[in-house]
């Protein structure tokens, strides 16, 4: 064990001497490893950060939650022109499903509308994401509150002008003062603020509760009606605990078909999007990003491997005389082989470490600049280090074998 530790120490010393004595050559040789490790770890870290953000944003939702509407979240075999002819889901259908579904814990109704501006005194916040939704949304989303509460069933049914506002909206309109029970102007009408959501940060698609205002869905229905082409209604179904998701999905489809008077053999004119299917689609997309990162980075790693091999062949050539002397003094082939192999690995790991430092530095800067948490996880650090060592091992094995097989007399003579 002591012999191998000494061998490792000597190899590290030789590697550092190579760095000091041939700075430009070594720099150019290690640049390939640095770029390769930087490329693949940067991609993996970015994808991991995105994956973590998606899971965090969806953590408050049951992955079996269903979204019933005229559009599909993913690819579909139904032609686009056909989809455009599908009718929107309605409030009456929401009430029917809520009253008749057996396997549902909660059923909510939401309308997607365009961005709006909100005012309070002389302050205005623009590009607000308005979320008109029924009162069950509070239970489906498992909302947390910084202050106040969510609106109740009575306020929802009557379409009362009450609002739950996001952190950024509250900060922009009220600053440090308490927003609860104050009135803001939205859609040309005064809304009483009854709740404030805690700070969330940017959402996975750029949306966030921080810039949102949640209002009773019936306020929008009373003001604009339901036959508005600029709005997209949706029914949200949360399965009860222990309910069979496939059975519930079939039940939703059958009841909606019956309500719409559809005949046997007619194609569904709606889509039931299950959140788990959407997350599976996202997982597949993340897998594609990872694969693409590996393929792109493989070329840089290949160039880095050739660079390490080149510097090791040169190192063997320069130290031929020293190898001969070591062998004449009794050094075994194994000792010489490990000496050069360790040197190749150490050089490669140094290049990989520089790549990891670059990833860490850029991730830190981008996290502060974009308010999106880029994480360089321990797993990726170990992967980068392992890849660097593997490149050094593969690239250094042939030069190390050639060095170990040198004849001591010929090696000394060549050096002279």
Is residue 218 within 8 A of residue 69, CB to CB? The reply is: no
Picking from 114, 118, 128, 122, the residue whose alpha carbon sits closest to that of residue 187 is 118
Average pLDDT over residues 324-338: 74
pTM: 0.64
Average pLDDT over residues 76-91: 86
Residues 51, 46: Cα–Cα separation, whole Å: 9
Residues 389, 285: Cα–Cα separation, whole Å: 30
What residue ranges do the domains of the chain occupy? 2-57+281-415, 87-269
Kindly calculate the radius of gyration of the chain based on its CA atoms and give it in whole angstroms.
32
Is residue 162 within 8 A of residue 194, CB to CB? The reply is: yes
Sign of CA pseudo-dihedral 72, 74, 75, 80: positive
pLDDT digits (tens, 9 = 90+) for 289-311: 777 777 777 777 777 777 778 77
Residues 44, 58: Cα–Cα separation, whole Å: 21
pLDDT digits (tens, 9 = 90+) for 142-185: 778 888 999 999 999 999 999 999 999 999 999 889 999 999 99
How many CB atoms within 10 Å of residue 331? Answer: 16
| pLDDT above 60 (res 354) | yes
Could you tell me whether strands 189-196 and 162-165 are parallel, antiparallel, or unpaired per DSSP bridges?
parallel
Q: How confident is the model at residue 7 (pLDDT cuts 50, 70, 90)?
A: low
pLDDT digits (tens, 9 = 90+) for 102-137: 888 899 999 999 889 999 988 999 989 999 999 999
How high does pLDDT run on average in the chain? 82
Which pLDDT score is estimated for 205? Answer: 47
% of the chain surpassing 90 pLDDT: 25
């Amino acid at each position: 064990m002591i012999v191998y530790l000494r061998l490792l120490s000597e190899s590290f010393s030789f590697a550092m001497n190579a760095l000091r004595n041939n700075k430009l050559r070594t720099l150019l040789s290690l640049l390939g490893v640095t770029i390769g490790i930087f490329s693949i770890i940067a991609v993996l870290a970015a994808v991991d950060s995105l994956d973590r953000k998606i899971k965090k944003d969806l953590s408050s939702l049951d992955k079996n939650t269903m979204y019933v509407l005229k559009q599909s979240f993913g690819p579909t075999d139904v032609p686009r022109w056909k989809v455009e002819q599908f009718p929107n889901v309605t409030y009456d259908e929401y009430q029917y499903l809520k009253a008749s579904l057996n396997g549902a814990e909660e059923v909510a109704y939401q309308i997607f509308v365009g961005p709006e501006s909100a005012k309070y005194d002389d302050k205005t916040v623009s590009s607000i994401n308005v979320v008109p939704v029924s009162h069950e949304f509070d239970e489906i989303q498992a909302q947390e509150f910084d202050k106040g509460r969510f609106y109740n069933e009575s306020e929802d049914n009557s379409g009362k002008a009450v609002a739950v506002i996001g952190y950024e909206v509250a900060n922009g309109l009220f600053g440090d003062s308490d927003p609860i029970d104050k009135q803001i102007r939205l859609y040309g009408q005064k809304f009483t603020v009854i709740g404030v959501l805690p700070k969330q940060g940017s959402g996975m698609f750029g949306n966030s509760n921080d810039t949102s205002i949640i209002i009773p869905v019936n306020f929008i229905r009373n003001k604009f009606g339901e036959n508005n082409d600029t709005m997209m209604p949706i029914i949200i179904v949360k399965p009860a605990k222990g309910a069979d998701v496939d059975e519930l999905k079939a039940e939703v489809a059958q009841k909606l078909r019956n309500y719409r008077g559809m005949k046997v053999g007619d194609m569904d004119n709606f889509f039931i999007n299950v959140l788990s299917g959407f997350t599976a689609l996202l997982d597949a997309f993340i897998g594609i990003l990872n694969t693409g990162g590996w393929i792109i980075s493989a070329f840089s790693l290949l160039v880095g491997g050739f660079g390490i091999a080149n510097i090791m062949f040169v190192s063997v050539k320069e130290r031929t005389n020293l190898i001969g002397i070591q062998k004449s003094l009794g050094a075994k082939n194994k000792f010489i082989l490990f000496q050069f192999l360790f040197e190749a690995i150490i050089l490669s790991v140094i290049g990989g470490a520089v790549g990891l430092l670059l990833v860490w530095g850029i991730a830190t800067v981008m996290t502060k600049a974009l308010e999106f948490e880029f994480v360089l996880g321990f797993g990726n650090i170990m992967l980068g280090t392992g890849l660097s060592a593997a490149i050094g091992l593969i690239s250094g094995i042939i030069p190390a074998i050639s060095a170990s097989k040198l004849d001591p007399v010929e090696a000394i003579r060549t050096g002279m």
